[in-house]
Amino acid sequence: MNAPEITTELPPPLGKYPRFRRAGDLIYVSGVSARLPDGSIDGVSQENGVIRRDVRRQTQRVLENVAGILASAGASLADCIDITVFLTDQQDFAEYNIAYGDYFESNGPARTTVIVRGLPHPDMVVEVKAVAWKAAHL
């Protein structure tokens, strides 16, 4: 795998919702963006007045954030059984798919990718919602 090193510091939620909820052995992760701990969005740059949104970098950051949330629940990306991805531009699918492949093999979680009109911030181009299975500690 070529995945970047996973960071443990997470951005705060944007509203009154949990990062995850556990139901028995299932862990439901709320939608996760490419936000950094300081609230900025990873993969956004500006040059000569043109804003560039790097879907590959944002996908990496999103999956790093999901991994951090799962770690706080005692699980990891390897425990994911279902992933739903929201992309704002169909043209970004190939780059997103490359970054996703750095984290998951073809025998990884089931996955659905949906093209959406927008996400909570105009610089966000990808969001992920995940479900993981990890035996609850008794």
pLDDT tens for the chain, 138 residues long, are 454 444 558 887 777 888 999 999 999 999 999 999 998 999 999 999 999 999 999 999 999 999 999 999 999 999 999 999 999 999 999 999 999 999 999 999 999 999 999 999 999 999 999 999 999 875
Specify the pLDDT at position 9.
Answer: 80
CATH fold label, 20-133: 60s Ribosomal Protein L30; Chain: A; (3.30.1330)
Specify the pLDDT at position 4.
Answer: 47
Cβ-Cβ contacts under 8 Å for 26 (sequence gap 6 or more)? 131, 132, 133
Specify the pLDDT at position 103.
Answer: 97
Specify the pLDDT at position 1.
Answer: 46
Query: Which amino acid is located at 45 in the chain?
Result: S
What DSSP string describes 65-132? HHHHHHHHTT--GGGEEEEEEEES-GGGHHHHHHHHHTT--TTS-EEEEEE-S--SSTT--EEEEEEE
Q: What is the spatial distance between Cα 73 and Cα 67, in angstroms, rounded to a whole number? A: 10
Specify the pLDDT at position 6.
Answer: 47
Torsion of CA 6, 10, 11, 15, to 10 degrees: 120
